[in-house]
Amino acid sequence: MNRAEGGPAIWGIQTRGADRFGIRASDLVREARYDNLITSPRFEYANVLISSGRYVEHDELTAQDQAIYYYLIARMRDHVNALNRADTAIEKRSALWNRGLSIEISVRDLVSYTGTASLVRIRASLERIAKTRLCYDLRRPLERDLSPKSLIEFSSIPDRLTSGTVIRYAIDRAIRSTMARARRYVLVDLNAFSRFRCRYAPRLYLRLAMLATYDRDRRKSWTPDIAELADALGYPTKAFHRANFIATIDRALQEIRNLPEINRRFAIAAAMPSADDIRFRFATSGTRKTLYDVRRRLLPRDALRHAEARGWEIGLREHQYINASHIGHAAAFTGEPPMDLSNAWRYDIIAANNNPRHPIGSMPGAEFLALIDRFGAPAAFEHWLGLKGYGSILDVDDYIPSIEPPDDLFAGLNYHEINDLLDQVDNELHEKLPPRVQDEDEDVFSGLLNAI
């Protein structure tokens, strides 16, 4: 079973996208930033949108363009979650299917996410995104949709952007409804996209992330040939040069492997084509779980009261508190007693408020308090667990399927390639055999046949 096929099941039934929250972040806007190296905000992206998407018009997207596109997708899902009454599956599905659903986003947020200060580059990215069209294989009962779709539809893009400019955009209703119905999905690390510079790295990253969602017993290597991988990643086939393509894929792999540790959620094994093997070979480990991926523990009454206690006499500022839910996740993740975790957090924050030099792990207290101010207490709490040396008690699925070519001579070949290989073997064998000498019995038998 694919672990990401619907998340928690209800009575054994896989849940759909509208039944799930769709975002793994305590505050998406504050955490989806280029300078965030303490948390990894993630969002759900349907498998079918990854596996069937093909660029058909104006594919001039850079790596930054694609990062902005996925950021807009995540903000749309976050917007739906924040809508009034969007607290049940039916209401979320209704919001995702709403024809008039549009979202506003500040250019300031795009600057923070991409890490670029050039508003000219931001505007150019928005224009390229608006022009690009993809085809997906979207299937519904008695209907199959293969029509080209715009990535994003913008109400307008001002000629001159400022950090305070607000952009209104909409996502195609068919894509939104696909996300609402999806049972199979990938939890994608949003901040990984802003790190890529090769335009094919985001596309390869999504494919590998999808491989990593499968359980150990179903995880297999992916072995596309050169033409299949070029088609899957939208690589241009005019004036195609094999060596250039392989070098591009190698560069994309290096960028994925060089992601900051917080964004590297699975290990990768890969092999490039060779003179006698035309296939790429990719395999991944399972995905690494983080604090808020685990089901939180129910807290004892004393730990619950302690976690929810508020008051000026405690010594914490309002934005420095974490609640019982965060303590419950940490208790399940680390195996530590909830009361010990709650006490230790409060002790460190109170000490840092009183003494900026108070060490929190390897970090000065003032520096850690600045993380709380920038990213919020829930995000800083996850980083605090690492600083304090609280390890995870979860099993690590580090199994990576073999990428060695199989011994089978015909593995991975199609019908025509097999016939060509057999003809080649026959010709080589015929050249190596000595001339055949006919014996006397055969001469007699041949004469009888001729007489008949």
Domain boundaries, given as residue ranges, for the chain: 1-194, 294-387, 415-451
Spatial distance between the Cα atoms of 410 and 260, rounded to a whole number of angstroms: 40
First to last CA, the chain: 67
Closest CA to 76 of 57, 52, 98: 98
Question: What is the reported pLDDT for 112?
Answer: 97
Q: pLDDT value at position 75?
A: 95
- Residue 44 pLDDT: 93
What whole-number distance in Å separates Cα of residue 331 and Cα of residue 344?
13
Whole-angstrom distance, CA of residue 183 vs CA of residue 46: 8
Structure tokens at 415: 């019908």
CA dist., res. 344 & res. 347, Å (int): 5
Give the integer Cα–Cα distance in Å for 390 and 110.
34
User: How remote is the C-alpha of 121 from its chain's centroid?
Assistant: 25
Tokens of 61: 């997207």
SS3 125: helix
Distant-in-sequence contacts of 134-140, Cβ < 8 A, 24+ apart: 134/53, 134/54, 134/55, 134/56, 135/52, 135/53, 135/54, 135/56, 136/48, 136/49, 136/52, 136/53, 136/54, 136/174, 136/175, 136/178, 137/48, 137/52, 138/48, 138/52, 138/174, 138/178, 140/181
- The answer to whether the predicted template modeling score (pTM) of the entire model surpasses 0.85 is no
SS3 for 337? coil
pLDDT of residue 86: 46
What whole-number distance in Å separates Cα of residue 203 and Cα of residue 230?
11
CA 281 to chain centre: 19
Half-sphere exposure of 447 (CA within 13 A, CB side): 6
pLDDT in tens, the chain (452 residues): 443 434 444 434 467 777 788 899 889 999 999 999 999 999 999 999 999 999 887 789 999 999 999 999 999 999 888 774 445 555 555 666 666 788 999 999 999 999 998 999 999 999 999 999 999 999 877 888 889 999 999 999 999 999 999 999 999 988 988 888 888 999 999 999 999 999 999 999 999 999 999 988 889 999 999 999 999 999 988 888 999 999 999 999 999 999 999 999 999 999 999 887 889 999 999 999 889 888 899 999 999 999 998 877 788 999 999 999 999 999 999 999 999 999 999 999 999 999 999 999 999 999 999 999 999 999 999 999 999 999 898 877 888 888 877 655 455 555 555 556 556 655 555 554 444 444 444 444 344 444 44
- Do residues 47 and 210 make contact, with C-beta atoms less than 8 angstroms apart? yes
Distance CA 199, CA 62 (A): 5
Residue tagged 């949108």 (tokens): 49
Q: How many other CB atoms sit within 10 Å of the CB of residue 187?
A: 23
DSSP labels, 344-363: HHHHHHHHHHH-TT-EETTE
In angstroms, the Cα distances linking 110 to 1, 30, 34, 45 are: 37, 12, 10, 20
Chain centroid to CA 221:
17
C-alpha 102/C-alpha 176 separation (Å) is: 11
CA 80 to chain centre: 20
The Cα 399–Cα 395 span in angstroms is 11
Nearest to 66 by CA among 30, 113, 24, 107: 113
Residue spans of alpha helices (H) in 241-295: 242-257
- Report the interhelical angle of 338-354 vs 365-375 (nearest 10°): 110
